[in-house]
Structure 1
Amino acid sequence: MPELATAFQTAQSNVEPSEGDWENAPAAHDEIGRVLAEDEKLSEWGISPILIGSYGRRVSIRRVFDVDMFCRLEDYPTGLAASDVIDRVYDVLRDQYSSPSVTKFDRSVTVLMPDSDGLFVDIVPARKAGTAWEIPVRNGGWIETNPIKMTELKEDKNAEYGEMYVPCVKLLRQSRRTLLGRAKLGGFTVEMALFTACEDGLVTGNSMGEFFASALEGVAEVFRRMADEGFQMPDPSRDGEVLVFDEDADFETARDKFSSAAIDARAAYNMGDDEAGKAALLLQGILGSNDDFTNVFPMPSGYDKQGNKRNYAEGSKPGNQQTTAGDLRFG
């Protein structure tokens, strides 16, 4: 296969959040954190917010439309209901921002931040539960979670795979957008499928091209197990527990779409050096486009949009700014 290392580097850059995204999220976190900390009751409960989710784990992709704010309550009173916390957070934020910008849900409060290019912040209160935390669920109860540990595990996995794991998570999140569209299955589910596949020894590779193809195969296999065998993904942040996903998560569609994408990615990897354009076309079909780029994965130099090698008789013709295609095997 033409490794297309430069093209993969460009694709990785193309899915990175914009400079504005990276600035808006922490600014919103700081602003809301100050508002909540100034409330006497929340301060008494020991509120201490941090950013979690894909942004907190640094695996967000362009564009960042929402971020999760994990509001740890270090001194949570015994007997206090989750709904009481939600109500208090909602009242404080409604007083600060206009009512249409603040929405209360069973497990969180969401704020549409002013002057932040459409950024929503989802504020989730949490209480201590041993070495982990608990967050509200729809029935008024609590469910255990450990997002801080999840971030640590992501860093460990990235080091284990030579700094390719995090870039691959982002490419897979972009692939999910392209492959699944509005099908019910979020980026976190894909990320955890990759983690599970790595833990099961299904993912290998010494270059991003090989690693990406293997990752798609591993994720497809995890989704196959879930759709066909009732497999439950382990929660790596909590020993002996499994991850819980939305009841309407469509694992059958995910199985089919990711299996097909894995076949294309492996075919691209197996192509010869003179087929770099055709390989790029297959990868473009998997990664699609985003708001800023027609194709996340670029066509390598020396090939037209259909993946055909440009024909230059004797190097560059006079007046033609296109140089002769060189060796496309970048690493």
Structure 2
Amino acid sequence: MAELATQFKTAQSNIEPSPDDWDNAPSAHDEVGTVLAADEKLKEWGINPILIGSYGRRVSIRRVYDVDMFCRLDDYPTDVDASEVLGRAYNVLVDQYGDNHVTLYDTSITVLIPDADGLYIDVVPARKAEDVWEIPTDNGWLKTNPVKLTELKEAKNADYDELYVPCVKLLRQARRTLMGQEAKPGGFTVEMALFTACEEGQVSGQSMAELFASAVEGVADVFRRIADDGFEIPDPTMDGEVLSFDEGADFETARDTFAAAAADARAAYDMAEDQAGKAALLLQGILGANDDFDNVFPMPAGYSPNGAPKAHVTERKPGDRKPTPGNLRFG
């Protein structure tokens, strides 16, 4: 089997958020949190922000374009309307950053942070509702539980011997490569498809090469069922609930794209070690490039960019009458 352990390690490193992203995200979170906490009304409501989303779950990849801030209101009064929560937070942020940097949406406020390399903070106010949370919408309150999702991710990572989180990141990179940065379904849907496939026992592997091939197959199967059978992904944080994703998500394209990628990932894993270059070439087609690397998955040493073994050149010795292959030029 073509394990390519060193190359998978390098690929994992190549898709990690950049040092600037690692610095900008927590810094912007602290800055926006301080701005909101300075407001007397929000302070009265017990504002208590934490990072959620892909960054909060440690599954972000290079580069980080936005960070989700879950603003828990621990002392929120039940007689205050949902729209008042969003309006209050929006006005506070506009006062600080200006209305050209702040946008109000149905369930959140997005802030473009100055001097943070184009980073956005998505501010999501929330109130406690028994064992889950509720976020405000135009139609009242919507139940959610991102804190529990982070806990489940950590448990799954332990179940898979710390390979689950890096595998999620590789799958997010694969989605960007195969479907495009802005295409839907997005990275969260891929992550939840993987979680579902894991829960169903479809995903296994003792190495990253084996796990990745199995994971792409599992995600492809979940997307096939969504596209063909109307399957709904269960919400692992709330019993009896299902997840909803972006309107207009093209699951038929996702089905076909990931099915092809699954075939390539499995073919790469099944190749013999002496076919490592060909295996790497298939994996490069799945994982592609990012802002810093033409191929996030490197070619093994001893192989040309096309996956073929490099020609071995024998060093010439004094008195050797056998010509060295190649076009020698002097002068």
TM range (shorter): over 0.9
Task: Give 1:184's aligned amino acid.
Answer: K
- Which residue of structure 2 lines up, in the alignment, with residue 10 of structure 1? 10
Secondary structure, aligned partner of 1:201: coil
Structure 1, unaligned runs of 5 or more: 319-331
Residue 152 of structure 1 aligns to which amino acid in structure 2? Answer: E
Q: From the superposition, tell whether residues 222 and 317 of structure 1 become closer, same or farther in structure 2 (CA, over 3 Å).
A: farther
Q: Tell me what 1:142 maps to.
A: 141
Contact 1:81 1:140 (C-alpha < 8 Å) held by counterparts: no
Q: Match of 1:177?
A: 176
User: 1:89, 1:212 → 2: CA distance?
Assistant: 42
CA positional deviation for 1:107: 1.1
Q: Does 1:198 align with 2:198?
A: yes
Pairwise CA distance, 1:272: 1.2
* Letter of the structure 1 residue corresponding to residue 193 of structure 2: A
SS state of the match for residue 103, structure 1? strand
Q: Deviations over 1:218-272 (max 9, x none)?
A: 0000111111111111111111211111231111111110000000000001111
| Highest RCO, 1 vs 2 (Cα 8 Å, sep ≥ 6) | 1
Match of 1:99, SS state, is coil
1:83·1:106 contact (CA, 8 Å) conserved in 2?
A: no
Counterpart contact for 1:54–1:60, Cα < 8 Å: yes
1:287 CA displacement: 0.4
Match in the other structure for 2:161: 162
Residue 283 of structure 1 aligns with which residue? 283
* TM-superposed deviation, 1:273: 1.4
Offset at residue 136 of structure 1 (A): 2.4
Secondary structure class of the residue paired with 1:17: coil
2:251 alignment counterpart: 251
Give the Cα–Cα distance (whole angstroms) in 1 for the partners of residues 298 and 218 of structure 2.
25
* 2:45–2:76 Cα contact (<8 Å) kept: yes
1:186 match: 186
Q: Which letter does structure 2 place at the counterpart of 1:173? A: R
TM-score calculated relative to the size of structure 1? 0.93
Q: Distance in 1 between matches of 2:139 and 2:34?
A: 27
Q: Distance in 2 between matches of 1:290 and 1:313?
A: 34
Unaligned runs of 5+ in 2: 319-331
Q: 1:73 to 1:301 in 2, by over 3 A?
A: same
Distance apart, 1:98 and its partner CA: 2.4
Q: Take 2:316 and 2:30, find their aligned partners in 1: how far apart are those partners?
A: 54
C-alpha distance in structure 2 between counterparts of 1:247 and 1:117, whole Å: 28
Count residues with an aligned counterpart: 317
1:60 and 1:32 map into 2 onto residues whose CA distance is 20
Distance 1:23 1:222 in 2: 35
**What is the distance in 2 between the residues matched to 1:62 and 1:115?**
18
Shift of residue 317 of structure 1?
10
- Rounded to whole Å, the distance in 2 between the matches of 1:10 and 1:315 is 31
CA offsets, 1:37-74, max 9 Å, x none? Answer: 11011011111110000000000000001000000111
- SS of the residue corresponding to residue 100 of structure 2 reads helix
Q: Is the CA contact 2:15–2:61 (under 8 Å) kept in the aligned structure 1?
A: yes
Q: CA RMSD in A?
A: 1.5
> Aligned partners of 1:219 and 1:5: how far apart in 2?
22
Contact kept? 2:85, 2:136, Cα under 8 Å: no
Report the structure number with the largest CA radius of gyration.
2
Q: For 1:108 and 1:166, how far apart are their aligned partners in 2?
A: 27
Determine if the alignment matches structure 1 residue 232 to structure 2 residue 232: yes
Per the TM alignment, residue 316 of structure 1 is displaced from its structure 2 partner at its CA by 10
Structure 2 counterpart of 1:126:
126
Q: Which amino acid aligns with 1:180?
A: M
State how far apart, in whole Å, the 1-side matches of 2:165 and 2:216 are.
Answer: 14
